[in-house]
Amino acid sequence: MASSVLTPSITFTDLLRAFTRIGLLSFGGPAGQIALMHRELVEERKWVAEEDFLHALNFCHLLPGPEAQQLATWIGWRLHGWRGGLAAGLLFVIPGAAIILALSVLYAFAANLAWVEALFLGVKAAVLAIVVQAMLRIDVRALDTGFNRALSEAA
């Protein structure tokens, strides 16, 4: 694999900030999470090369378990060794888990209130839009023919 670190001055604090942000914003399942990581780490920060990101993603698809978390852990490891892998993997999961726990508690206590029902309806629509946008972005980058893209979108 080519060198995935494009910017040599990535501090551990930068890594923590980036993966805290990703952990807080990554909703919508693996497609949304992977698209967010791609945008943050490949397109905006240029910490990982496009080719390396796609190779790592393909490898993570072969492994058992959640590929988005494996990809986050790999990127953290690639940037800062075992410490970076552990931090990126944990920060990828913990903020989102805390948000889901808070939303679950809110729903359990106030599910019958109209404003709570409206809030959760809005969240469902937003998550669906994020997943569809992520799927289309990944399709264009990772799939090489129109047939493969159509098959992916139909699935």
Q: How confident is the model at residue 1 (pLDDT cuts 50, 70, 90)?
A: very low
**Residue 149 · residue 140 · CB < 8 Å:** yes
**Per-residue pLDDT, 16:** 96
Q: What is the pLDDT of residues 100-143, one digit of tens each?
A: 898 888 888 887 888 878 887 888 888 788 778 777 777 777 77
Tens of pLDDT, residue by residue over 7-53, are 458 999 999 999 999 998 876 678 888 988 999 999 999 999 999 99
102 versus 87: which is more confidently predicted? 87
Domain locations in the chain as residue ranges? 12-154
> What is the chain's alpha carbon radius of gyration, rounded to the nearest angstrom?
17
Residue 85 structure tokens: 């892998």
